[in-house]
Chains A and B, each alone.
Chain A
Amino acid sequence: MNKNLVLLAAVAAVAVGVAQFAYADPVSDKLVIDGKEMITRAPAPEGHPFKEVLSGWLFREPETRALEADSFANPGMLYVERGEEIWNTVDGAKGKSCASCHNDASETMKDVGAHYPKWDAETKRPINIELQIDKCRTEQMGAEAYKFDAADQKALTTYIKYQSFGTPVKLDLAKGDMQSWWDRGKKEYYTRTGQLNLACASCHEASMGRHIRADHLSQGQANGFPTYRLKQADMVSLHNRMRGCIRDTRAEMPKAFSDELMALEVYVTWRGTGLSVETPAVRQ
């Protein structure tokens, strides 16, 4: 092979490489909201496929990042305010509101959301904030459980999670059978599904940082949920988003709060260990 041909082959290889692996680095900006610096990069916990876990904020467009950084402009804050109203509103047969038992959420719910999902000994499965709210409503307030993704459910969940704003995510996997749910969630994360034959890991691990059409693939972290998505112009819950991803692989969607999605929530939340709770985050 003469020299020119070798060079040509090298150039072609580079060109093909670029075409196949359009990679864009997540930005190195710092996210500061109301003077509070968020942890958007954290050393990964043991057993994690990445060295560093990255917040989805680092992958978004500058305008979207700016919207989250300004707590006034962030439309998600409207839902935090709405959640506070719900917190203080009496509902159900027993004439109680959340505040009747839990008083001031800024004290009683402080940092609580950063450690969900938790083990629930009664039902012997993990419980997330939405289900915890339903439990309180049915058992303590004599009210009905929320329908999945009811506007009030999203607002109240957002408000409670917001009380952990800035707190690093940390799950307690030692409680109950959390570890086996984590194992199950991990298995699901790596299982290819749907007509497109994609696993969570196909996009959010193997292709993290690349583009899937116009979308800059993040690590798929849960720390910003419920999150304000510009596409829906509304708050989007974690289970809604997971169902959306599964739909996009053209698979059948598991029901919200089903065993499949609860296991996935445990595992995916763990993958974001150390990141600040950003609720209400703003995403594309």
Chain B
Amino acid sequence: MATPKPRVKVPKSAKAGETVVIKTLISHQMESGQRKDKDGKVIPREIIHKFACEFNGKPVFSCDMEPAISANPYFEFNAKVNESGKFKFTWEDDNGSVYTDEAAIEVS
């Protein structure tokens, strides 16, 4: 597929202290480095090796990814929000690219 495109789903609003569900999905082929092409040559590994989420600059969730993870990695996790602000998401690709996305939440 073309350039990996992230999708995130964060509720638009929440009550202070509420735990919200955050979902993220990114299109990526997650080439494992184990496969060979038609000529028998190894297709070089190219995966997203790190995903991180922060809220107003503070880390919420992060993880390293390994080659066994399927294409189009999907993450779902919870976060407790006490104030309005912005979630920032980053995906780091083996090829050096960093894909980012943001989502704001209104806390009352």
Residues of A within 8 A of B (CB): 72-73, 75, 77-79, 81-82, 85, 151, 155, 230, 233-234
Contact = CB atoms under 8 A, between A and B. Distances in A.
Given A78-B5, A82-B2, A151-B1, A72 B23 contact: yes
Interface string B14-54: 00000000010101001000000000000000000000000
5 contacts: A73-B76, A75-B27, A82-B5, A233-B72, A234-B71
B9 A78 contact: no
Given A78-B1, A82-B2, A72 B70 contact: no
Contact of A78 (B23, B25, B70): B25
Given A73-B25, A73-B74, 19 more contacts: A72-B9, A72-B23, A73-B23, A73-B76, A75-B27, A75-B72, A75-B74, A78-B1, A78-B25, A78-B27, A78-B72, A79-B1, A81-B7, A82-B1, A82-B2, A82-B5, A82-B27, A230-B70, A233-B71
A75 B27 CA distance: 8
A82 B72 CA distance: 13
Nearest to B26: A78
Contacts of B23: 72-73
Contacts of A233: 30, 70-72
A75 B2 contact: no
A78 B28 CA distance: 10
Nearest to A70: B23
B86 to A, nearest CB: 20
B7 A72 contact: yes
A75 B1 contact: no
A155 B2 CA distance: 11
A77 B23 CA distance: 14
Query: Looking at chain B's contact residues, is the secondary structure mostly helix, strand, loop, or mixed?
Result: loop
Nearest to B73: A75
Contact of B25 (A72, A82, A234): A72
A82 B2 CA distance: 8
Nearest to A86: B2
A157 to B, nearest CB: 14
Nearest to B71: A233
Contacts of A73: 23, 25, 74, 76
Interface in B36-94: 70-72, 74, 76
A85 B3 CA distance: 12
B29 to A, nearest CB: 8
A9 to B, nearest CB: 50
Contacts of A81: 5, 7
Nearest to A154: B1
Q: A73, A77, A81, A85: which has the most chain B beta carbons within 10 Å?
A: A73
A81 B2 CA distance: 11
A230 B71 CA distance: 9
B9 to A, nearest CB: 5
Nearest to B76: A73
A167 B65 CA distance: 39
Nearest to B8: A72
B52 to A, nearest CB: 20
Nearest to B4: A78
Q: B2, B72, B74: which has the most chain A beta carbons within 10 Å?
A: B72
A77 B22 CA distance: 17
Contacts of A79: 1
Closest 4 A-B residue pairs measured CB to CB?
Answer: A233-B71, A75-B72, A78-B27, A72-B9
A64 to B, nearest CB: 13
Nearest to A234: B71
Contacts of A72: 7, 9, 23, 25
